[in-house]
């Protein structure tokens, strides 16, 4: 029982016992003295006894206060610093002023701590050197996965995702919904994949995979969860080293939505051709037989048959021409085209031009845009035409721009001087572009992009040679660098430790390290959610298997429906202009609810953030009933109620750097809180707090103490 009390409380009880025991001895001595002296001495004994007891208690209290200040409290602080150093790995020196009255104890502990730090650094260095080769191999694998044109997923037998590559995100058109530990069927239709897995399991259990031509693989055709895209790929079972137990499976896939639509259109075109050609062909055949036969036709009848012949010939020619155009469009769609950033396209033209004998000067103007084309042939075409214009006009200086107008992206080539005619352009387009491209001409490139050149001249003498192209098919950020921030170049989307994990029926008994957390934070118009303050930003980051998944973050501005006070903007730097075009809370919270899924919610001072979420339950129809952990309460259990528990203080204590530019942003504070949580879990485990149930219990105790303190 007494071992559960803090050191300072036990020392206080010790001094209190000494004081009370001393008083009890004095009282007992005076009582026996009273019996020997007589009742007439009672007032004197009571007076001197009271003075003695008061003096003893006062002296005892003074000694205790000095002992607590110079011994107990420093020991308590040293213990906390050492536990933080040992279990949380915070690289910080112990304060030399702490425990300066403890003699050699404080220097000895400092020396031991420094030795621990040096030993840990040496161990880390050895581990780093020992794993360098493995890391290089891992990076090669990551590079291969990143560069694959197909999406790759690896799942365990509970259909939880263990790995995905960047291409999988692009094909599935998702961000927050796809994540480690999430179910595969949250992003794809379940039925085709379940059927494929059933077939593979049966093949494996019966041993037929050893002689089957596809082994443990089978083709699968499915769709994304929203039904918007058709997927084709392969599912392959993963077995253990003994090859007697399936442990998971891989899925490789690609988006065949456009290909499928083109195949359907091809079949429809073929069927339409047969139907539309059958009638004119039959009429032509009958008319030809009548004209060629010996039927003694009079002049009028023969003339009518000749008119029918001409009419059906025209009809047949028109049908063939229409089908040829459609066929041409389908052929153009079969070319390998992709979304390209115009600045990348122009830089390719610049590099291509630099490799030629005659160097032209080309300036890029305007804001870059995304477009959809075959970049190889478009670069060759523009560079080819630019050289033809230079040869025709003698000019060496040109300008290029790309602008979006309506449903087209216009590539404009500018120069000042002589205008080229359409006939000249047509003659250039009939020439082969480059020997490396075979016999492909400029006309082939234009036809397959379903476009054409035209040339105009403005009153100021500027000539425009314009090439219309189609906009990008997928949505891209205006700033290409934004995508690199959201999706890291290095593969960060895998955790094979999840392969062997099985779900527990009761999440409360799950070890803290095996839980999936979503650490979140909100920025608001003020500090009073019940009095009309609103959220203006919400962000979160997932922790899976003890790893912060920075590539799976959620970050969204929210339109608050009211103005943001200047005092609040001074803290989080979010202005009214920044949220003017942001979606309302009714659109943002459902996305965040889907992002959180069944994870444990974590926040620093969680009651504040959860209040904002709970007040929106009626408005959004969503309730966040997930378990919630508060890093403030967990830190209060470990550090004590009197310690500073701000996010900045804890980050400094644990050696976590919060860049000033992201402090008081929802995502920046979420990442810092996630780092703090991992350090707290280290300390909690060292103190015997291992499961979610344990953590919730110590939170309740810490919260109860803080409520009692708030009364005074």
Contact 8, 68 (CB under 8 A): yes
Contact 109, 96 (CB under 8 A): no
Taking residue 702's Cβ as centre, other Cβ atoms within 10 Å add up to 21
Strand-strand pairing, 217-223 and 230-239: antiparallel
Strand-strand pairing, 600-603 and 628-630: parallel
Distance CA 409, CA 394 (A): 28
* Torsion sign across C-alpha atoms 356, 357, 358, 361: positive
**216: CB partners within 8 A, 6+ apart:** 200, 203, 204, 209, 236, 237, 239
* Best CA proximity match to 237, nearest among 208, 260, 259: 208
Cα atoms found within 13 Å of the Cα of residue 153, Cβ hemisphere only: 28
Phi and psi dihedrals of 540, rounded to 5?
-155, 160
- Say whether 625 sits in a helix, a strand or coil: coil
Phi and psi dihedrals of 182, rounded to 5?
-80, 155
Catalytic residue chosen out of the listed positions 212, 258, 593, 664: 664
87 catalytic? Reply is no
Fill in the DSSP letter of residue 573: -
Contact 189, 180 (CB under 8 A): no
Name the helix (H) or strand (E) containing 577.
Answer: none
Helical residues (DSSP H) of 394-538, grouped into ranges: 422-429, 442-448, 480-486
Distance CA 397, CA 359 (A): 10
Distance CA 133, CA 154 (A): 24
* CA angle at 374 for the pair 368 and 380, rounded to the nearest 5°: 85
Cα dihedral: 279, 285, 286, 288 (round 10) = 140
Active-site amino acid positions: 664
């Amino acid at each position: 029982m007494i071992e559960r009390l803090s050191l300072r409380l036990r020392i206080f009880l010790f001094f209190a016992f000494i004081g009370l025991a001393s008083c009890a001895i004095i009282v007992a001595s005076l009582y026996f003295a009273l019996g020997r002296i007589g009742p007439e001495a009672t007032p004197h004994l009571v007076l001197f006894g009271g003075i003695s007891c008061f003096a003893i208690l006062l002296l005892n209290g003074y000694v205790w206060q000095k002992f607590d200040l110079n011994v107990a409290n420093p020991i308590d602080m040293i213990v906390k610093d050492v536990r933080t150093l040992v279990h949380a790995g915070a690289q910080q020196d112990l304060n030399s002023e702490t425990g300066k009255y403890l003699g050699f104890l404080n220097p000895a502990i400092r020396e031991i701590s420094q030795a621990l730090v040096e030993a840990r650094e040496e161990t880390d260095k050895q581990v780093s050197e020992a794993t360098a080769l493995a890391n290089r191999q891992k990076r090669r694998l990551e590079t291969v996965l990143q560069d694959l044109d197909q999406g790759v997923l690896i799942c365990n037998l509970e259909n939880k995702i263990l790995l995905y590559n960047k291409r999988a995100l692009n094909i599935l058109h998702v961000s927050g919904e796809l994540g480690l530990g999430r179910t595969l069927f949250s992003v794809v239709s379940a039925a085709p994949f379940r059927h494929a897995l059933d077939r593979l399991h049966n093949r494996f259990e019966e041993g037929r995979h050893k002689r089957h031509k596809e082994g443990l693989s089978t083709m699968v055709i499915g769709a994304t969860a929203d039904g918007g895209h058709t997927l084709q790929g392969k599912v392959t079972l993963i077995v253990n080293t003994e090859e007697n137990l399936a442990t998971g499976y891989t899925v490789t896939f690609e988006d065949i939505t456009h290909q499928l639509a083109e195949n359907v259109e091809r079949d429809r075109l073929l069927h339409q051709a047969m139907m539309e050609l059958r009638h004119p062909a039959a009429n032509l055949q009958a008319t030809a037989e009548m004209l060629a036969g010996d039927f003694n036709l009079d002049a009028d009848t023969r003339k009518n048959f000749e008119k029918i012949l001409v009419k059906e010939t025209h009809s047949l020619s028109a049908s063939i021409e229409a089908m040829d155009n459609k066929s041409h469009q389908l052929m153009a769609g079969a070319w390998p085209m992709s979304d390209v950033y115009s600045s990348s396209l122009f830089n390719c033209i610049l590099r291509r031009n630099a490799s030629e004998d005659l160097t032209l000067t080309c300036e890029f103007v305007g804001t870059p845009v995304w477009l959809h084309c075959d970049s190889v042939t478009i670069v060759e075409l523009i560079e080819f035409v630019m050289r033809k214009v230079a040869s025709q006009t003698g000019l060496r200086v040109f300008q290029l721009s790309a602008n979006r107008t309506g449903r087209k992206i216009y590539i404009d080539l500018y120069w000042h001087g002589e205008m080229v005619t359409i006939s000249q352009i047509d003659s250039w387009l009939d020439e082969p572009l480059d020997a490396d491209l075979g016999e492909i001409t400029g006309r082939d490139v234009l036809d397959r992009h379903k476009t054409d050149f035209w040339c105009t001249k403005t009153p100021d003498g500027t000539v425009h040679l314009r090439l219309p192209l189609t906009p990008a098919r997928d949505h891209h950020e205006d700033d290409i660098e934004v995508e690199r921030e959201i999706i890291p170049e290095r593969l960060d989307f895998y955790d094979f430790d999840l392969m062997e994990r099985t779900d527990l029926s009761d999440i409360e008994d799950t070890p803290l390290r095996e839980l999936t957390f979503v650490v979140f934070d909100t920025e608001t118009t003020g500090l009073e959610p019940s009095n009309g303050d609103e959220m203006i930003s919400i962000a979160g980051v997932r922790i899976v298997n003890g790893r912060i998944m920075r590539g799976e973050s959620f970050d969204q501005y929210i339109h608050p429906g009211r103005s943001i006070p200047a005092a609040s903007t001074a803290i989080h730097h979010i202005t009214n202009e920044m949220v003017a075009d942001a979606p309302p809370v009714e659109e943002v919270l459902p996305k965040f609810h889907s992002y959180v899924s069944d994870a444990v919610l974590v926040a620093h001072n969680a009651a504040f953030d959860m209040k904002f979420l709970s007040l929106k339950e009626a408005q959004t129809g969503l309730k966040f009933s997930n378990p919630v952990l508060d890093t403030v309460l967990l830190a209060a259990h470990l550090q004590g109620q009197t310690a500073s528990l701000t996010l900045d203080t804890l980050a400094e204590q644990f050696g976590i750097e919060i860049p000033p530019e992201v402090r008081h942003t929802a995502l920046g504070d979420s990442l810092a809180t996630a780092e703090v949580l991992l350090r707290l879990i280290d300390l909690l485990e060292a103190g015997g707090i291992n499961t979610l149930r344990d953590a919730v219990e110590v939170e309740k105790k810490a919260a109860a103490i803080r409520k009692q303190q708030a009364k005074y």
